Structure 1
Amino acid sequence: MERIEELVQAAKEAALIGGIVLKENFRKVREENIEEKAEKDFVSYVDKTSEQRIRDFLSKKFPGHLVVGEEEGGRDEGEYVWYIDPLDGTKNYIAGFPIFGVSVGLIHEGEPVVGAVYLPAFNSLYWAGKGLGAYKDGKPIRVSQTSDVRFSVVAYGFPSRAKRKLDTYWFIFKEVFDKVAAMRRPGAAAVDLCFVAEGVFEGLMEFELHPWDINAGIVILKEAGGNYRVMENNSKRDIVASNGRIQGFLEEVVGRYL
């Protein structure tokens, strides 16, 4: 494998490149500049511009690598595959809610090995590389040490265009909500994974995702000492992740309904 440090640095730079676009346009996107890709699934020139600039950077730096993005897709059968979410939390961004980010993750021979997630509204950059640990703005981060479900905060999420019956998610939410201290729905999976990695949340359950939603975040979470399980659902993915201490509880609940 190529030097992990070089790959991590590239992921960080790529996330920042996309983040510049998001910063420049935050709270400036007008309704006429928003397209509906599918029911309740929006995109704007911001997503597209961010992705194109990241693609250009990575393609020039690693011409032999493949790049897959949310907006333009791409081939994913190769030794090195970069997954880009140029704007994780598009609806938040359009609404002016500052929980959104740029996610850049690298897969090497099928294994997530590098991740960088940038939150422009907070100027916070999370990153990790296999065996190097996880960091936020240059400082090491670790998952929460809380093991008691009663004192745990859990994030959750499912798409507005959910393909499953909403009752499925309601039953999962209700059972977890009844036992934990609180539940939160920030609306951006990559960001949520970083929040688990740094100990803000003890766990998360998010459904019907794509690889670009989670590939960067799971590297950061794992290197911060956390745990996760990704479940394939046709072309989508469900993820249950945590500090490792409440993983069993979350998997047990989700497993009863899915």
Structure 2
Amino acid sequence: MTNPTNQQRLTAAISITELAAQIAQRHFRRAPDIEIKQDLSPVTVADKETEEAIRAGLAEHFPGEAVFGEEFGRDGDAETTWIIDPIDGTRSFIGGVPLYGMLLGYLEAGRPTLGVIRMPAIGEVYAGGTGLQATCNGAPIHVSRCKSLAEASLFINEGDKLAIREPAVFARLVEAGRLRRMGADCHPHALVAAGTMDAVVDYDLQPYDYLPVSAVVEAAGGVMTDWQGKALGLNSDGRTLTAATPELHAELMELVNARS
């Protein structure tokens, strides 16, 4: 494909992840062999085969373009590249929890210009990008209009890590909002993009976890930054805030950065 538009890239990304999802689902709830990586996170044959399938699809549609994947690392320029998380939520996948995801995004100058959040086990695919309408299964989606944390439905992702490493922040979060749920991985962010939840506080993420997601959230009209309000990039510290509106985002940022 010569000089593809952002829409052409997004259409191809949706198609590539659709085929790759079939590989992930073939392994789901089949007790795959588990390896432990150097960072102590688990990886399965499903992670590897799924990333290989996505890379093959990208090579077919966009030959020679750079790729950065969780399982097989970087191939080419790190700033203008496709970025892959083949199974976002490997622990959920291993446990048979159907809320594991698949993430694919494209970066230009280190910033995401499109993203796909596919949920293979529940049949949902969220997509969006710069100048493009955010969608779920092809239907337009938009964030909620919630502007107040007191009225917000809030996801606290990676709550176990927060409770241990950021106990004061965790203590404030579990008392915040109108409704709170503990979560993990990409689906809570997708629900903010779809307008059914209002915010997510997340922690200890890698670029392939948050960059494709941020493209979808922003296309849906939401805000996603680090805890300091800075735009997300390859070198962000892995702590993220996702909110439906700037006003809600500002309240969340004040909460997580409050002095204990």
Same fold (TM over 0.5): yes
Q: Which residue of 1 aligns with 2:164?
A: 166
The answer to whether 1:138 aligns with 2:133 is no
Between 1:170-179 and 1:122-131, the stretch displaced more is 170-179
Q: CA RMSD in A?
A: 2.4
Task: Name the counterpart of 1:198.
Answer: 194
Aligned to 1:242: 243
SS at 2:46 equivalent: helix
Q: State the alpha-carbon separation in 1 of the partners of residues 248 and 236 from structure 2.
A: 27
- Alpha carbons of 1:58 and 1:133: their partners in 2 closer, same or farther (altered >3 Å)? same
What is aligned with 1:67?
67
User: What pairs with 1:68-107 in structure 2 (closer than 5 Å)?
Assistant: 68-75=68-75, 77=77, 80-107=80-107
Matched with 2:219 is 223
Structure 1, unpaired ranges of 5+: none
Deviation at 1:61, TM superposition (A): 1.6
TM-score of the aligned structures, taking structure 2 as reference length: 0.88
Q: Match for residue 176 of structure 2? A: 179
Tell me if the contact between 1:141 and 1:197 (Cα under 8 Å) persists in the aligned partners: yes
Unaligned 5+ segments in structure 2 are: none
Distance in 1, matches of 2:34 and 2:163, equals 27
The code of the aligned residue for 2:173 comes to V
Question: What TM-score results when the alignment is normalised by the length of structure 1?
Answer: 0.89
Q: Does 1:18 align with 2:27?
A: no
- Output one character per residue of 1:177-220: Cα deviation in whole Å (capped at 9) or x when no partner: 213122223321x2222111011221111112111101111111
Contact 1:197 1:225 in 2 (8 A): yes
Percent identical among aligned pairs is: 26
- Does the 8 Å contact 2:115/2:215 carry over to 1? yes
Q: Report the alpha carbon displacement of residue 40 of structure 1 after superposing the two structures with TM.
A: 4.6
Change (3 A) 1:165 1:26: closer
Aligned to 1:214: 210
Distance 1:40 1:257 in 2: 31
Contact 2:10 2:128 in 1 (8 A): yes
Report the count of equivalent residues.
252
Q: Does 1:251 align with 2:248?
A: no
In structure 2, give the amino acid aligned to 1:119: M
Q: Which runs of 4+ in 1 moved over 6 A?
A: 232-235
Task: Look up the equivalent residue of 1:219 and give its one-letter code.
Answer: A
